[in-house]
Structure 1
Amino acid sequence: MDLNWVAVSWGVLSLVLIVAEILVPGAFLLWLGLAAGVLFLVTLLMPALPILAQIVLFAVFSVVFIQIYRTKYRGRTRNSDNPLLNRRADQLIGNSYVLETAVVQGRGTVRVGDAIWTVRADQDLPAGSTVRVVAVTDGMNLAVEPVA
């Protein structure tokens, strides 16, 4: 029995691309690896297929698999049990804190745990006042209002 080295080459390329996807995840090499895997099967069934036809088929299968990935999997949103996990400032909305420094000209600070946060308010407030976080501005500044 003669070994089909072209088929073996496609099989090895398929495995290399899939292992590369595992080592450096990015959801791209997997689809190229699957296309090479299909070419492995095609060249096993049709060993006389010219190399140019194999390359064209690899390109076609790659595009098809990538399109399947883009339409079926990429656009899906995942529901999280904790959507604010990596958005610490947004976790503070609705909570009340005591002003660390007075709000003067719209700016002051509050202590949240061991961190000091910059706050913005529409009115000046003395240090020690209790304020409620109503929004996050500029990504790291807390918009506050006085608690009555």
Structure 2
Amino acid sequence: MASMEGISALIAQFGPWLWFALAVILFVMESIVPGVHFVWFGLSASIVGVIGLTTPLAWEWQLIAFALIAMVTVFWVRQKSREESAHPDVADLNLRGAQYIGRIVTIEDAIVNGRGKVRVGDTVWVAKGEDGPKGANVKVTGADGTVLVVSRI
């Protein structure tokens, strides 16, 4: 029972500032340890500190609030990260040709018999599409591997 009295005395002496100190320690640990582990516990300690400033709670309830808030934040973040990893922001990240669909580009080498070259920025791409003279503008409508599909505009 001496440890329970010690915890009560410690929390009574420092109050919510003990939670803020714990939050700072956890945030410092987060900056040292790779990954995202301690930030959610630090956030939980900060929230319990704010609750302690506004509402007097027994230390047992403060510990319960800390545990519940920590579990909720960790669960929420894990769910969000699963959702984001299931739907990447850039689906065509490694499909460079697909990134150019919809852009207007200039024919570099005349498109003859459906084949030619177009300039996209500082890169020349092989293109297929309707025949067109050098210097004409065309629109990228698709990509077939490393070949851009173009149409006249």
**TM-score, normalised with respect to structure 1:** 0.47
Greater share of residues in helix: 2
**TM-score, normalised with respect to structure 2:** 0.46
